[in-house]
Amino acid sequence: MAIQEKIPSAILQRAQSWLTDAYDEQTRNEVKQLLAAQPEALIDAFYKDLAFGTGGMRGIMGVGTNRINNYTIAKATQGLSNYLHHLYKDKLLQVAIAFDSRNNSQRFAQKAAAILTANGIEVYIFDDLYPTPLLSFAVRYLRCQAGIMITASHNPKEYNGYKVYGEEGAQLVVPADQHVLQEVNKVQDISAVKVGSDASKIHSIDEEVVNAYKQQVLAQHFFDVKQCVTKDLKIVYTPLHGTGIQLIPKLLYHQGFKNVSIVEKQATPHGDFPTVLSPNPEDPKALELALQQAQQLEADLVIGTDPDADRVGIAVKSENGPMQLLNGHQTGALLSYYVLQSWAAKSKFRGNEFIVKTIVTTPLIEKIAAYFKVPCYNTLTGFKYIAAVIQKNEGIKKFLLGAEESYGYLIGDFVRDKDGVSTACMLAEMAAWLKTQDKSIYTFLLTLYQKFGYYQEQIHAITQQGKQGAEAIKAMMQRYRASDLKSLNNQRIVMIKDYWKGQAKDLLSGKTNKIALPLSDVLQFITEDESMISIRPSGTEPKIKFYFSVKVPFDNLPKAQQQAREKLACLKHELLMA
C-alpha cells in the first residue's frame, strides 16, 4: 500500500482498470508486478495515452496506455474505424495493412485486421513483411480509404508503432490526425472495442500490387544503366535485418547492377536486430559491417535501409580510398542536383515543377533549386507534411523530389511517404552515371560545395525520459522563447521564426510576418552569416533536438570542415548556455 501511495490517484485508477477480465492473464500479472514493486515504471506506463506525432503512434512495447500492446493497438484501430465510418458514411470501407520485421509486428497487424473487420471494414493485408513505401503505394493502388503500417521505423528493438495513412497514401496531418485521436480518446474502455473478426473480410495483397510498385520504381530513371558498362560498379547493401531485403536487391539487379553484395549477417529479418544496438542508418555503428565489407571489396557505394525501408544511409568511396559516410543533408543535396540537372538536360522543365524539404534540412537544397529556377517549399519536420504539399498541388504542379535531414527522400509521386527502395535505386543510378564520366559521388559532392559554398549540419539531442522529462523539455522551450538573444557567435540574429506562434520576426526591420504552416513547437534563429539553429521537441521520442547549420567558403575540404566545426562548436556552446 505504501508503494501505491506514491502513485497519483488518476494514474493508479487507470492502471487498476487493467486488472479486469477484459485483459488477458499475462497482462494482468504484469500490471500487478508494477503495482507491487515498480511505481515509477507504472507511472510512465500509464500517465498518458500514446498520441499521434510526426511518425504516428510509436512507443516501447509493454503493458500500459503509454505503451504499444494489443490493447493500445485495439483502441487505436477502433478509433480509426469510428473515424472512417463518420467520414465515409454509407460507403464500403477498405483498409490496407503491412508490417515490418519487428517483434510482434505481424501479431499487431493481425489484431488491427480483426478489429477492422468486426467494424464491417474490408481489410487487405500483406502475407509477408514489406516496406512502408509499398504500403503507401498499396493504399492508392487498391483505392483504400486508409492504411496501417506496423513499424517503429529506425527505433531500437524495444519499440513498435502504428502509422496511419489516408486515402491519398500519406500519413495523416492536421486536422485528420486530431480527429482520429479524438475518436481514439473516446474509446475509454476496452469493452468499447468491437470483437468478432469476420475472416471473409480479410484479403491477402497479392503479387499484382508488388509488381505494379516495382514497375513504377524501374520506370523512374534518367540514365539507362543497362546501356553502359556497370559490371565494375560495386555496391554493398544491408537491410539491417529489415524489410528492404524483399525488394532492393532484386530491383538493383533488374536495373542492370550485377555486382551487388549483401551483408549476410544482416540479411535475415529479425526483430532483435542482433548485430546492431539500433537499426538506424543515421547511426554510423549500424553500418559498420557494411563498411568493412565495402573496404574488402573496394566497393563504390554502400546502401543501408532501416527496418521498414523508408530511410536510406549511404557511404561512398573517397578520393584517397576509404569509404566516407554521408549524412542526410548531403544525400538530399546530391539527389536534388542529380534529379534537377537530369530534367534540365532532357529539356523536361515546363515551369510548374517544384521540390520540397523540411525546415531543418540543409539550405543547400534551396540554393540548388534556385540555380535551376525551381521553387523549393519548406515544411514542418515529418514527411507527412511533404506529402501534404504534394497533395495540395496535385494536378496543378509537378512534384519532383522531397527530402528531410533524417535520411528520408522521395522521387516522384507514386508513393506519398519517404521511400528507401526507390531512393536506393536512384542513388545506384547516379553512381553509375558518374562512373561513366570517371567521377564518383564523393567528387560530385565536392563540385556542389565549389558551386554553392560548404554547408555543414549537426544535431544535438537531449533525452528526458518519462513524465518529468516531458515537463523539463517543455520548460526548456519556454526558456528559449523568453530569452532576449540578439547574436550568436558574434553574428547578429536577423530572423527569429516561432512556428508555435506562426510568426517570423525580422530583427533588422522590426517587421513580423505570418508563417504559412501549421502551428508547431519549433523555434528557429537565423544569423547574418546564414547560420541556422532550430530547436524542436521530437514528436516520436522523449527528446529535444537542436539542429545547427552553418555555411563557410569552400577553398578546399579540410579548411572548410575546420572552419565549419569551429562555427558549430561556438554556436552550440552559446545556445546551450543561454
Question: Exposed (0-12), middle (13-18) or buried (19+): which is 241, by Cβ within 10 Å?
Answer: buried
Measured CA to CA, the distance from residue 76 to residue 51 in angstroms comes to: 10
Measured CA to CA, the distance from residue 105 to residue 161 in angstroms comes to: 8
> Which of 101, 105, 136, 153 is labelled catalytic?
153
551 contacts 531 by C-beta, under 8 angstroms: yes
Kindly report the number of other CB atoms within 10 A of residue 2's CB atom. 6
Closest by alpha carbon to 157, among 91, 203, 104, 210?
104
How far does CA 472 lie from the centroid of its chain?
25
Kindly report the number of other CB atoms within 10 A of residue 170's CB atom. 24
Region for 172 from its dihedrals, namely left if φ exceeds 0, alpha if ψ lies in -120 to 50, beta otherwise:
beta
441-452 vs 364-371: helix crossing angle, rounded to 10 = 80
Measured CA to CA, the distance from residue 496 to residue 507 in angstroms comes to: 8
Measured CA to CA, the distance from residue 482 to residue 505 in angstroms comes to: 14
C-alpha grid cell, residue 570: 561556438
Number of H helices, E strands in the chain: 18, 23
Kindly report the number of other CB atoms within 10 A of residue 96's CB atom. 30
Question: What torsion do the CA atoms of 414, 420, 422, 427 make, to the nearest 10 degrees?
Answer: 140
Q: Is 153 annotated in the active site?
A: yes
Q: Where are the alpha helices (DSSP H) in 346-465?
A: 364-371, 383-393, 420-435, 441-452
Question: At a CB cut-off of 8 Å and minimum separation 6, what does 306 contact?
Answer: 153, 154, 240, 242, 279, 280, 281, 407, 420
C-alpha grid cell, residue 124: 487487405
Q: For 511, what's the count of Cα atoms within 13 Å in the CB-facing half-sphere?
A: 4
3-class state of residue 455 by DSSP = strand
Break the chain down into helix, strand, coil percent, rounded to 5: 40, 20, 35
Q: For 559, what's the count of Cα atoms within 13 Å in the CB-facing half-sphere?
A: 8
**Residues belonging to the active site:** 153
